Amino acid sequence: AQSVTQPDIHITVSEGASLELRCNYSYGATPYLFWYVQSPGQGLQLLLKYFSGDTLVQGIKGFEAEFKRSQSSFNLRKPSVHWSDAAEYFCAVGAQGGATNKLIFGTGTLLAVQP
């Protein structure tokens, strides 16, 4: 069965430090991959997506992610974290099997930013 794993439940970084959030997926073919961010009490905002092509994708707010097929990973990175980046981050994969927009989400990584 398809699945998405985010091994880090909670991460704390200092403001200005670099960030990498891990995401591993289980998928039989070329996946559609997404990173979303959620602030408390809010919906999900798309940070970036990978459908095909260049394996390094750029997103909003200075985020980027790299698709590595050999490692089944799609890790999210940011070179310098800002206090406003504190939120929960979700990795998701588009489900296989016919015409569907269903997403399968990881359990999320809660990011705290220290001043």
Partner 1 sequence: KAGVTQTPRYLIKTRGQQVTLSCSPISGHRSVSWYQQTPGQGLQFLFEYFSETQRNKGNFPGRFSGRQFSNSRSEMNVSTLELGDSALYLCASTQGERETQYFGPGTRLLVL
3 touching partner 1, by CB under 8 A: no
Q: With binding defined as CB under 8 A, does residue 49 bind partner 1?
A: yes
Rounded to whole angstroms, what are the CA distances from 108 to 36, 70, 76, 79, 100? 9, 23, 12, 20, 23
Contact track, partner 1, 5-34, x by CB under 8 A: ---------------------------x-x
Residue 77 near residue 18 (C-beta atoms within 8 A): yes
Nearer to partner 1, 34 or 74 (CB): 34
Instruction: Say whether residue 43 binds partner 1 (CB under 8 A).
Output: yes
Q: Which of residues 51-80 bind partner 1 (CB under 8 A)?
A: 51
CA–CA gap between residue 44 and residue 40 (Å, rounded): 10
| Pairing label, strands 103-105, 87-94 | antiparallel
Residue ranges binding partner 1 (CB under 8 A): 32, 34, 36, 41-46, 49, 51, 90, 92, 94-95, 99-108
